[in-house]
């Protein structure tokens, strides 16, 4: 019995329990005694008993049986070292799953050699790996058989459990049975479970990256990662001394911070000024048109900004600099300036909406007082509102900076891939996020430092942005409480 | 009372000499400040306009495709010289359809069969896909053999670009992809009404291809739809459940605080980190296939979850406590209060937040790059476990192609993506306007 069949069967039993339970509980009504719970709760409780334990068992069983089959396979393969054993195991697994695709008649009298098997499989559109050996066929067949047997028994047990649950649930139906309380307790646990997903995600992020990072640090010392100034992930010689300094974080970190700085230099003045204008000067009709238009900038996916920088703005700036100064362009098509400018525009709505909230939280009385003493509007903004809102604005800038540091698509397309250390904003530099993407696209193996370094970079990025967010959120919250 | 003489000798205070209190300077500063504000807004809007304008001007032509309609004769002597098609159906599949299309074109242009040089130049006019198109026609309907049918075939990407006027003809012929002879033929065919522009349905139905004229976003859109479906199912369900717990049931304790701080921080985690999570957990640890829409969908769900939770909590908190008190007073349990009264009232706000979260997930690219969705996928995925790609990833892949025809398609795909996002955001705004309630 396949997993899906079992699942559908259990669901069907559950639905049947729901229907029967409800109609039984309804017939209780006729007896004249008021039942504790309404009929649908009795039905729902029966359904919960029918499906819940059975599904849990099914999940546990399938994990357990997958493990068991894996063990059976790896004890069946004979290989020299642990590493080749792992490859052989995965080959057998691949073979087993492709054998399952064959027609039943072919499966019954399977050829004993890979040579004879290959044409049968290729007729089904499956290609076997080159290293698959003859002795693997019986192992794979045995594994398939064990998996099938385990699937059958597990499915039967689960369905049996489901029927038993349904019967227990139905037998509990009585006038004074507190079915609603039970159902609601179960629901509360489900709701609580959903809310813990946030914690699980954080734990998952940290743990998954931590393990890979630790594996990376076995090959490369943390010192040369965090303080190395050369990024060149190609391993020149196996275990050579020169390999140590090649995963230097410094050029990437410098590029990330430089581009983020340029972006902030664009986004903060423009965003802040437009927020001030919107809240202090703009008339209502202007605001209703311009505000959504500026927010459009926030709704555009970052890849669109990246492509605009790559195919329009970058070449245009390069040609412009060449035309203005004659001869060689001094702005490269992919440069810190281009990437920072485009990212800054992307961040304008972030800054302006955050500062808008903060500016409107400044009490009206302070504004009125300043205007009443004869200050102009701009003096009120500069001398009263902005100083009062300063902590909040600092928080907003920090939040924006963390967005700029974690931004990926714009820099992948517009910032370049060469890990330079330069102070010239018109040259290309690369960032942490670009390198994460570069190291992880294409074919990858999970045990080479070239791949694992991406997780070390990711963990660094995660902690840098996390620290900025925590500080920023704390500042913003403190600031809000000040005026409440 | 005595009348006061109007011109009595009351002292008239002389106007004091005007003291310079800097009012003019202050007003100038005021005007400057206001101008800065206007300049900031104009800067943002101008950038937006230039960006959208440049994409639309590059991409609107992608919605048209040059087609060439030729009378093709399915010549049995050319396709099946040994007359074996009745006994061996694979003859029809393997036959030389290229020649068929070339013959039709040569007949139209009046190029002699032995003119090798001109025959070679003629090859670049029709798309290579015409071979497959003719083959599929004949395999589907073998009765066509020996007949002559008008077939509308795609022009090659270079001819397509040239016909749209996107190729600079002032460049010397040797450095151009389209030769003068081809241009002359193109104009001749266009004059005869054989070469025409039609609406580019292929853009919406094709998948990835190395030929620009047969590449489209169809496969990528299906992948994106799978992922959006998964995000909607997972993130909406889990997000609403989590928000209900936190807003309506959670006791004020350390665990709740921890969860709340977590959610706020997760909302600000860079999206690429979710890609690393997906790669390490779903692909490396759980062994799910790379490039699968399922993995992409779950990863995007985790990314969207905080957005949805924050929006849902705001919507739940906006329902006035009197609703809850009223329902409780009538004997409803707390669960019934939430599911029968609070949740329906909060639904418009929840939906708005969900649509905005979905729009963000639809445009997200970075995490999908890491879980292997940068794949050359030419076939429609039939299940979420098949290799698939997503609309923004397809755009990213096209951005690596230099050919003008790919840039055009990429810009066209961006227009479509932006149109999708626009529709979603407008729906969210309309929903909010329509159902918003002030308590």
Find the radius of gyration of the CA atoms of chain B.
Answer: 34
B397 and B318 in a common domain: yes
B192 and B226 in a common domain: no
B177 and B324 in a common domain: no
pLDDT of residue A241: 46
B237 and B137 in a common domain: no
**Residue-by-residue pLDDT tens, chain A, 484 positions:** 467 788 888 888 888 888 888 888 877 766 667 777 788 888 888 888 888 888 888 888 888 888 888 777 777 776 666 566 667 777 777 777 777 777 676 666 677 677 777 777 766 666 666 667 777 777 777 778 888 888 888 888 888 888 888 888 888 887 777 888 888 899 899 999 988 888 888 888 888 889 888 888 888 888 888 887 788 776 544 444 444 447 888 888 888 999 999 999 999 999 999 999 988 888 889 888 888 888 888 889 999 999 999 888 888 888 888 888 777 777 788 888 999 999 999 999 999 988 888 888 888 899 999 999 989 889 999 999 988 888 888 888 998 999 999 999 999 888 877 777 878 888 888 888 988 888 887 666 666 777 888 889 999 999 999 898 888 888 877 776 666 6
Inter-chain CB proximity B399 and A195 less than 8 Å? no
What's the rounded mean pLDDT across residues B23-34? 90
Q: Chain A residue closest to B270 (CA)?
A: A406
- The answer to whether residue B11 sits within a structural domain is no
Q: What are phi and psi of B82, to 5 degrees?
A: -95, 5
Q: Of the segments A149-153, B104-108, B300-304, B346-350, which one has the largest average pLDDT value? A: B300-304
Residues of chain B found within 8 Å of residue A198, distances taken between Cβ atoms: 242, 259, 262-263, 266, 305-306, 309
Query: Which H or E run contains A261?
Result: helix A250-276
**Which of B29, B40, B264 is opposite residue A270, by nearest beta carbon?**
B40
Is the Cβ of B383 closer than 8 Å to some Cβ of chain A? no
Residues of chain B found within 8 Å of residue A270, distances taken between Cβ atoms: 40, 43-44
Torsion angle, CA of A340/A342/A346/A349, rounded to 10 degrees?
90
Q: A211: distance to nearest CA of chain B, Å?
A: 9
- The answer to whether residue B251 sits within a structural domain is yes
Instruction: Produce one character per residue of B100-116: b if its CB has 16 or more CB atoms within 10 Å, e if not.
Output: bbbbbbbebbebeeeee
CATH number of domain containing B395: 1.10.3720.10
Query: What domain range is B335 assigned to?
Result: 218-435
A243 vs B320, higher pLDDT:
B320
B86 and B130 in a common domain: yes
Split at pLDDT 50, 70, 90, the class of B127 is confident
pLDDT of residue A245: 47
- Check pLDDT > 90 for residue B326: yes
Is the Cβ of B30 closer than 8 Å to some Cβ of chain A? yes
pLDDT of residue B6: 57
Helix count and strand count (H, E) for chain B = 20, 3
Of B371, B297, B243, the C-alpha closest to A198 is B243
B246 and B178 in a common domain: no
- The answer to whether residue B303 sits within a structural domain is yes
Q: What's the predicted TM-score (pTM) here?
A: 0.85
Evaluate whether A263 touches A404 at the Cβ level (below 8 Å). yes
What's the rounded mean pLDDT across residues B130-147? 80
B371 and B244 in a common domain: yes
Evaluate whether B214 touches B202 at the Cβ level (below 8 Å). yes
B255 and B156 in a common domain: no
**Count of the separate structural domains present in chain B:** 2
Q: B265: distance to nearest CA of chain A, Å?
A: 7
B237 and B165 in a common domain: no
pLDDT of residue B78: 73
Inter-chain CB proximity B335 and A188 less than 8 Å? yes
- The answer to whether residue B152 sits within a structural domain is yes
What's the rounded mean pLDDT across residues B40-51? 92
B355 and B311 in a common domain: yes
- The answer to whether residue B354 sits within a structural domain is yes
- The answer to whether residue B101 sits within a structural domain is yes
- Check pLDDT > 80 for residue B13: no
Residue at which a domain ends, from B140, B164, B197: B197
What's the rounded mean pLDDT across residues B170-188? 80
Evaluate whether A299 touches A404 at the Cβ level (below 8 Å). no
* SS3 assignment, position B356: helix
B232 and B143 in a common domain: no
Distance CA B347, CA B344 (A): 5
pLDDT > 70 in chain B, percent: 97
B158 and B286 in a common domain: no
pLDDT in tens, B190-232: 888 788 888 888 888 888 887 888 888 888 899 999 999 999 9
DSSP-assigned beta bridge partners for residue B278: none
- The answer to whether residue B293 sits within a structural domain is yes
- The answer to whether residue B212 sits within a structural domain is no
């Amino acid at each position: 019995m396949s997993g899906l069949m079992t699942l559908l069967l259990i669901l069907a039993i559950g639905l049947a329990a729901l229907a029967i339970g409800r109609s039984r509980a309804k017939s209780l009504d006729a007896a004249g005694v008021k039942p504790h719970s309404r009929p649908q709760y009795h039905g729902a409780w029966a359904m919960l008993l029918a499906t819940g334990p059975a599904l849990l068992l099914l999940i546990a069983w399938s994990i357990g049986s997958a493990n068991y089959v894996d063990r059976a396979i790896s004890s069946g393969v004979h290989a020299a070292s642990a590493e080749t054993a792992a490859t052989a195991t995965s080959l057998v697994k691949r073979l087993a799953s492709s054998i399952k695709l064959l027609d039943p008649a072919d499966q019954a009298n399977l050829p004993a050699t890979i040579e004879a098997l290959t044409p049968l499989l290729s007729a089904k559109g499956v290609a076997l790996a080159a290293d698959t050996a003859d002795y693997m066929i019986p192992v794979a067949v045995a594994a398939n058989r064990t998996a099938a047997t385990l699937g059958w028994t597990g499915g039967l047990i689960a369905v049996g459990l489901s029927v038993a649950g349904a019967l227990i649930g139905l037998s509990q139906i009585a006038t004074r049975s507190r079915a609603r309380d039970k159902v609601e307790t179960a629901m509360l646990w489900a709701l609580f479970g959903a809310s813990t997903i946030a914690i699980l995600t954080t734990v998952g992020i940290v743990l998954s990256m931590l393990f890979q990072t630790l594996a990376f640090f076995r090959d490369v010392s943390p010192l040369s990662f965090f303080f190395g100034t050369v990024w060149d992930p190609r391993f020149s010689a196996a275990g050579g001394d020169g390999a140590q300094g090649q995963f230097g974080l410094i050029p990437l970190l410098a590029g990330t911070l430089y581009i983020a700085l340029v972006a902030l230099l664009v986004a903060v003045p423009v965003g802040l000024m437009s927020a001030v204008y919107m809240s202090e000067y703009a008339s209502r009709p202007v605001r209703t048109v311009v505000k959504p238009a500026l927010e459009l900038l926030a709704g555009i996916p970052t890849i669109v900004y990246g492509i605009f920088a790559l195919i329009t703005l970058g070449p245009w700036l390069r040609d412009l600099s060449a035309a203005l100064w004659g001869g060689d362009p001094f702005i490269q098509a992919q440069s810190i300036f281009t990437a920072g400018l485009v990212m800054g525009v992307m961040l304008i709505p972030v800054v302006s909406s955050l500062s808008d909230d903060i500016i409107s939280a400044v009490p009206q009385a302070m504004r009125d007082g300043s205007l009443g003493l004869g200050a102009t509007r701009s003096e009120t903004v500069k001398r009263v509102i902005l100083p009062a809102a300063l902590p909040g604005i600092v928080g907003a800038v920090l939040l924006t900076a963390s967005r700029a540091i974690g931004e990926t698509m714009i820099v992948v397309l517009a910032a370049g891939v060469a890990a330079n250390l330069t102070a010239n904003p018109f040259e290309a530099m690369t960032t942490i996020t670009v390198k994460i993407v570069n190291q992880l696209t294409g074919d990858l193996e999970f045990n080479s430092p070239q791949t694992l370094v991406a997780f070390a970079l990711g963990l660094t990025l995660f902690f840098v942005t996390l620290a900025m967010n925590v500080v920023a959120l704390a500042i913003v919250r403190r600031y809000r409480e000040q005026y409440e | 009372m005595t009348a006061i003489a109007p011109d009595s000798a009351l002292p008239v205070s002389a106007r004091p000499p005007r003291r310079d209190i800097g009012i003019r300077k202050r007003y100038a500063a005021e005007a400057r400040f206001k101008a800065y504000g206007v300049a900031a807004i104009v800067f943002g809007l101008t950038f937006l306009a230039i960006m959208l304008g440049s994409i639309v001007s590059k991409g609107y032509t992608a919605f048209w495709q040059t087609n060439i309609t030729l009378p093709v004769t399915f010549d049995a002597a050319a396709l099946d010289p040994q007359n074996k098609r009745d006994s061996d159906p694979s003859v029809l599949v393997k036959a030389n359809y290229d020649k068929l299309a070339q013959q039709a074109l040569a007949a139209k242009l009046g190029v002699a069969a032995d003119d090798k040089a001109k025959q070679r130049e003629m090859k670049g006019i029709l798309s290579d896909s015409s071979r497959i198109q003719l083959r599929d026609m004949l395999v589907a309907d073998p009765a066509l053999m020996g007949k002559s049918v008008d077939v509308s075939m795609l022009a090659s990407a270079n001819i397509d670009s040239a016909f749209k006027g996107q190729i600079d003809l002032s460049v010397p012929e040797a450095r151009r992809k389209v030769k003068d002879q081809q241009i002359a033929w193109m104009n001749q065919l266009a004059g005869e009404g054989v070469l025409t522009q039609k609406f580019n349905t292929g853009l919406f139905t094709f998948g990835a291809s190395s030929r620009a004229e047969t590449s489209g976003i169809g496969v990528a859109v299906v992948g994106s739809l799978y992922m959006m479906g998964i995000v909607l199912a997972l993130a909406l369900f889990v997000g609403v459940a989590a928000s209900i717990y936190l807003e309506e049931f959670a006791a004020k304790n350390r665990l709740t605080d921890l969860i709340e701080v977590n959610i706020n921080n997760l909302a600000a985690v860079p999206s690429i980190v979710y890609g690393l999570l997906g790669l390490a957990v779903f692909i490396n640890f759980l062994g799910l296939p790379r490039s699968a829409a399922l993995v992409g969908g779950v990863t995007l769900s985790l990314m969207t979850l905080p957005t949805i939770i924050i929006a849902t909590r705001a919507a739940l908190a906006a329902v006035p406590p009197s609703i809850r008190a009223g329902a409780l007073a009538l004997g409803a349990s707390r669960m019934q209060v939430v599911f029968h009264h609070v949740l329906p009232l909060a639904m418009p706000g929840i939906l708005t937040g969900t649509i905005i979260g979905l729009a963000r997930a639809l445009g997200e690219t970075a995490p999908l790059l890491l879980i292997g969705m940068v794949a050359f996928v030419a076939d429609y995925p039939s299940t979420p476990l098949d290799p698939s790609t997503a609309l923004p990833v397809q755009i990213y892949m096209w951005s690596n192609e230099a050919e003008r025809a790919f840039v055009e398609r990429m810009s066209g795909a961006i227009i479509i993506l932006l149109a999708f996002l626009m529709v979603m955001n407008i729906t969210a705004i309309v929903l909010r306007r329509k159902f918003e309630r002030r308590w």
